[in-house]
Amino acid sequence: MSSLYRDYDATALSKLVKAREVEPKELVEQAITEIERINPKLNAVTHKMYEQARKQAETVVDAPFAGVPILLKDMYQEVEGEPMTFGSRAYQGNRATEDSLYTRQMRQAGFVFLGYTNVPEFALMAVTEPEHNGPTRNPWSPDVTPGGSSGGSAAAVAAGMVPLAGASDGGGSIRIPAAYCGLFGLKPTRGRTPVGPQLSRHWQGASVSHVLTKSVRDSAAVLDALITEEKGRAFLPPRFDGSYLRVIDMPHPRALNVAFSVTSPLGTAVDPACRQAVLDTARLFELLGHHVTEATAPVDGLQLAKSYITMYFAEVGAELMALESILGRKVKLGDVEPTTWMLAVLGKTTSAAEFVMTLREWDKAAVQMEAFHETYDLYLTPTTAMMPAKIGELAPTGMERALISVVDKFGIAKVLQKVGLVDTLVQTSLKRTPFTQLANLTGQPAMSVPMYRSETGMPVGVQVIAARGREDLLLLVAAALEQTPQWLDVRQLEV
């Protein structure tokens, strides 16, 4: 049962349940065994719901994934009565008052919830190392990060704790961990998956929820299950009347026009392995009969990155204002991590006009990419520009912590903005992952596919972006790539 559970994807496990070859409670117990065996090595799961899962498994529903165990992300995927900490010590006593709409849809699809996965504080970083819960480690190499912010989910799936896990992506948080952990990671079109009921948008529409999976078919089937009529949602995606799961069984797509680029939109360095992954995949597209051209997206990458960072400032500032209303006092340095606090301070000094200009940059880029996709069906880039950082490598240095203390004491955040801090933050925080934010800001669907391994054996992801609303095209292409020898089989990983 152990090897069967670890090797099978969620679709295969659900078929066993429907055929009555295995009971949901057996799957739950096997998942618990794997979590208890592996999690001490990786720290991917931070809250366990074993007894609740056992009770949930007693009632088998007629649903696509009846009885299949999964983990949820500790960020906007609430289960009523369970903790929701957003990776922050400030919320360690917080409990959800109701299920999120995402969770309702996943429950309706038949999934059994085993717990929550680790996230960086407020899902702000591309590494999963919150001070509150400690770092999550990559199952391919425990001394490096699995990425973030869905790093706990990626580590859990890659290690075989669960066949898939809840994830969300506001700047690459599905695709980056997918690339680092050898998984398939699809970020859907803005508005495609639910965000309610308490909010109608996350990060001004930049953040979208979905899953991290071992197989393309699991991702497609879950996307089918997540789509629902959501009252009050801020964004409506282009309509899709079919089934994403049926799409992947369609014949190989017609000859597509495919653009690729291995140049960072920030003008920063790109690791040779990340470059080679794209070049090899571009050649594979040619072998599959597609027309491939080297071309760069027609957007101002640096300006778009600045607008993304400005949104970060504002959203974190708003997050801590909301926290102040809960605590009934001002949030102090120490209530949250130094980086979070600094971002919030910068957010409070960002003007409304600057924030509006940020959103205008997003709209401008969206129009430019629509025109780009009139020529090119797909756009290939590295998912990340660098291989995963070592655990602790990106933590604030002593000097940076001292600077934050000075800002706290003397209130000089506005001065720092005036002396080019935004430009510095863009270069330092996004140079490792400069490719993924584009699709979040334009609302396009994008995926990371596991097409390469570095000389050291680490997975390397390739990002593929399509026009808004074309998840069907991405999934069809991914299904074709999945059948090639280049596709990395995560089942070969032993933890």
Give catalytic residue positions.
73, 149, 173
d(CA 355, CA 313): 9
- Token pair, residue 62, equals 């007629």
Q: In what order do the strands lie in the sheet with 164-169?
A: 45-48, 112-117, 69-73, 164-169, 208-213, 184-187, 446-453, 459-466, 378-382, 257-260, 291-294
Rg (alpha carbons) of the chain, rounded to whole number: 21
Taking phi over 0 as left and psi of -120 to 50 as alpha, with beta for the rest, 339 belongs to alpha
Residue 329 CB neighbours (<10 A): 10
- Asked if residues 24 and 57 have their Cβ atoms less than 8 Å apart, the reply is yes
Dihedral sign, CA of 346, 351, 352, 354? Answer: negative
